[in-house]
Structure 1
Amino acid sequence: MGNCSSVEFKELSNRIQKTRVLGIISGDAESRFLSPQELVQDPNALLKPRKKTGDDSFGLSLRYGFTPKIGTTPQYEKFLERKNKITKQRKLPRPFYMNVIYQVRQSKINIDPYDSDTRGFKANSTGKLPLLENNMAARNIMKHFQRDTKSQSDFNSRIGHLNDFNFEFDNICERTTIDSVCNKHGQVFVEFLTDSKFCVLNGRFGEKSNQYTSISSRGKSVVDYICVPHDIIGSCKDFKIVPCGDVVGAEGIQNLIDTRCKIPDHAFLVFDYHYRYNLNSELGNGNKTDINNDVKTDQNRKHFKLRSIPADFMCSDIIKQTINELIRTIEICREEQGEIDSIYAAFCDTVFREMEDKVPFTDCSKRTRRKFRNDKPFWNDELSQLWKNMRDKEKAFLKTNGHGARRKARTEFSTSQKTFDNRLRFLERKYKSNLALDIEKVSTDNPRKFWDELNKLGPKRKKDIPMECDIGSGNITCDKSEVLQKWEYDFSNLYKKVNTTSDDIFYAHAMQHKQLLEDNMLDPLFEPNGKLNGTILIEEVSGSTKPADGTVMEY
């Protein structure tokens, strides 16, 4: 969450598509309600950057797994293909919904209640918020959400100590809150939660879940929430709020900050969702067994080089004996799901152990993983010290509770933040100015160096020759000695004439043509061509080969 440019938003989207993430939030995302027809025509409309910045609109994002009632479009087909790919990767047996909601600040509401006839919103000056205040809007939003649904949002709602559930009917644990302020958005938001049987995860998972989600020089507050239905709150684990400053400090990417890449003032809302479903009910069996499909992260991941599998892989006597025992176990098993799973797990364990012993691999754990960091050339020790000072002031501001002390800590944090931003902008402008002056100076003194400097400004090119070759029969080898030997053999025989047989027809035709030319020259009436057989003069050569740059040629 937070503000970012359109270019950074697209880059963030491309990075997230490569990871195990279902949805993203951005302060510059399109924030307006769409009618069902518009949503079907362009399901990704709400994930596009706005043309204008600011909080002059609000909206609800698309959701995975809905069925359109209007004709399909190429955009929807692309969206559906992506949804199916996500569902297949996570092995989800049924639709999985993820919503991203953005709501304008209270001081900028200027809309009319939900119009059920037009299925849209109209601008007016009534100052009401139909998303949460009108029950019809809530029903229209949630009517498709009959399965597991989650909403992660920047609601701009401060609910304080208000309860988001009914003590008499709902069996939900109470939450703790660090922000005691409640605004009008918060009151309407709590009514919406109680009506739709949703609850927020904030403050229900210990101290890490009870933190401020918005931290800026204007103050600190809790305005971002993740909402889930009451029946799946047990599947949500380890919810925590991580400020962006902590992420930047932990990853050591302070030197990537510049005037176009600022730190968002909103925090990350992170939690683990354990997807539970009834496997036997999906297969139509009578027995019900709940399976917890947890996605576990392997801390010691290994990337096996499958192109370098040795010839003796899975050929040892121990492996053959193990495989034969598994085959005999399959023959005598009672074809029950539990036995089949255990046999498959034993087979996978055997294969993986053999791969670790025979197949070369590289360690891809977090400790050894190389990270690409495009360091800012103008970053120095002064900026590092200012960054550290700003982080210390921010932490002190979060820990302060007294009214007077809190105002003082907020002022100090705001001052340190402005000092860091001003110095960062100054050093960046100075670096760009000096770079432009150097390039301008080089353009007149050394043209060759000028073009070399311009080439440095473009994207980096990596010239790397792959150390692999085809040794025949489609077998690829990556062994350095075999690759060099293959290259030496191929290049040494590149211009050697292997086939000594010549084309007899072509040779006979050439000899016949040669004989005709010689007979023509022996004819008494033959007159030689003086221009072709004459002497070539130096003046002719110098006139034909005059250089373009005007240099003098010596003969």
Structure 2
Amino acid sequence: MDRGHSCIQEYIAVWNGNLSLVDRDDFVHGVDLVPTRDVIDNTVNLYGELLIDFLVGINFCMLNGRYETGNNFTYISPQGRSVVDYVLVPHEQIPLISDFQVLPISSIIDQYNADVPCSLPDHSILQYTLDLSGFVTPHDDVAPLSSDVTSSTKWYSCKHIPKGFLNNDSSVLLISQTIDRIQKTVDNANEIDHAYDDFVDLIHQEMEDKLPVLKKNSGPVPKKSFKKPYWCNELQNQWDMTSRCEREWLRSKAGVCVKARLKQKYCDERRKFDRLNRKLKQQHQKQKQFNLLDKLNQADADFWKIIGNLGIANERKQKLPMEVKLEDGTVVSDVHSVLSNGESDL
């Protein structure tokens, strides 16, 4: 066994180990009221037998395979598939957990349109919902979040904040009162929360009154892997084929020969994707090198600017706008006017 760690005191344990469990019950029939498991990995080794005996002795059980949906292999690679990651809980804590799912990395990438890493992880994600209402005392006056919060969220432009923002008498008075309330009720969490909520309402009202609302982008969804400049339709199609073959292999209930054929098909498509990904990446890097050499041979003045802008940190860095706000409130972006204004200020 590699490692195990517990969270939420002694209630839940998440275990990752080099073990496989036999199709044995991890509870005592007629004594423990625990639903049976749907075992999809029938490989057996000594560590799995020892873990089963240990769980029976301490009244723990595993969540894998105990729910109608979401059961899947936790380790998936061209070498094979198996269940080696588990969530272990006491018997009395099973009602607190719902929506247990094992999500392969490929399904997460497809679902969230995420960037495909150079080396795809072999282990799946174990996801579940934990009910903590019996451990956390909710505020009576806090309304539950609605499902359409995201769709109704407003985005404000903070590019040009007016001088009167939070600078009127009522705003200054409420800010002072909030500071006084927090200082007087440091030991009372509810009072601090109420003071903070009032201050947040003030900020929202000021933004609503004095800041322009940004228009939502109604354009098409950006294509996958925008961080990879070499991503193309050919690579996308090969990734879709690899994901489809993986799902067919994992969900197959056929015999050994059919499963072996589906596994071989997945391995072939996975190798094709890896080779194509490396090939396009190398071509892109070579093309960038050739462009730099051309700039150097031509003694282009932009050569050192391009060198200085290389790297992920520079791509994420926000550039300061070349503009200045004049005394009459107008904003100018002309380089000469900006430099002249800065020179006069100095």
* TM-score where L is the length of structure 2: 0.69
Distance 1:441 1:294 in 2: 62
Distance 1:243 1:362 in 2: 39
Alpha-carbon distance change, 364 to 397 in structure 1, aligned in 2, over 3 angstroms? farther
124, 128, 137: which is aligned to 1:267?
Answer: 124
* TM-score where L is the length of structure 1: 0.45
1:452 deviates by 3.2
- Matched residue type, 2:65: G
Superposed CA deviations along residues 446-498 of structure 1, whole A, max 9, x for unmatched, are: 242322331341313422359999x9xxxxxxxxx95759xx9xx98x969xx
The residue that corresponds to 1:179 in the other structure is: 41
State whether structure 2 residue 94 is matched by structure 1 residue 242: no
242, 246, 250: which is aligned to 1:394?
Answer: 246
State whether structure 2 residue 46 is matched by structure 1 residue 190: no
- Matched residue type, 1:300: V
Do the aligned partners of 1:300 and 1:363 also contact (CA within 8 Å) in 2? no
146, 150, 153: which is aligned to 2:15?
Answer: 153
State whether structure 2 residue 326 is matched by structure 1 residue 464: no
Percent identity of the aligned residues?
A: 20
Distance 2:214 2:105 in 1: 28
Do the aligned partners of 2:20 and 2:44 also contact (CA within 8 Å) in 1? yes
Give matches, 1:152-551, under 5 Å: 152-208=14-70, 210-254=71-115, 256-257=116-117, 261-277=118-134, 299-301=148-150, 302=153, 308=165, 355=205, 358=209, 375-400=227-252, 401-458=254-311, 459-460=314-315, 461-465=317-321
The alignment partner of 1:448 has SS state of coil
1:172 deviates by 1.8
The alignment partner of 2:269 has SS state of helix
The alignment partner of 1:186 has SS state of helix
Do the aligned partners of 2:295 and 2:302 also contact (CA within 8 Å) in 1? yes
Over alpha carbons, which structure has the higher Rg? 1
1:184 deviates by 2.0
Alpha-carbon distance change, 484 to 457 in structure 1, aligned in 2, over 3 angstroms? closer
1:405 deviates by 0.6
Do the aligned partners of 2:4 and 2:15 also contact (CA within 8 Å) in 1? no
- Matched residue type, 1:414: C
1:394 deviates by 0.9
Distance 2:324 2:298 in 1: 45
Unpaired stretches in structure 2, ≥5 consecutive residues: 172-189
1:360 deviates by 5.5
Unpaired stretches in structure 1, ≥5 consecutive residues: 1-56, 64-96, 99-146, 281-288, 315-339, 472-480, 497-555
Q: How many residues align?
A: 299
1:297 deviates by 7.8
Do the aligned partners of 1:153 and 1:226 also contact (CA within 8 Å) in 2? yes
Distance 2:236 2:272 in 1: 12
CA RMSD in angstroms comes to: 4.5
The alignment partner of 1:212 has SS state of coil
Superposed CA deviations along residues 351-388 of structure 1, whole A, max 9, x for unmatched, are: 59x849757586999x9999996521222221111111
Do the aligned partners of 1:155 and 1:224 also contact (CA within 8 Å) in 2? yes
1:421 deviates by 0.7
- Matched residue type, 1:397: W
Distance 1:388 1:372 in 2: 12
The residue that corresponds to 1:58 in the other structure is: 2
- Matched residue type, 1:241: V
1:299 deviates by 4.6
Greater RCO (CA < 8 Å, at least 6 residues apart): 2
Alpha-carbon distance change, 482 to 447 in structure 1, aligned in 2, over 3 angstroms? closer
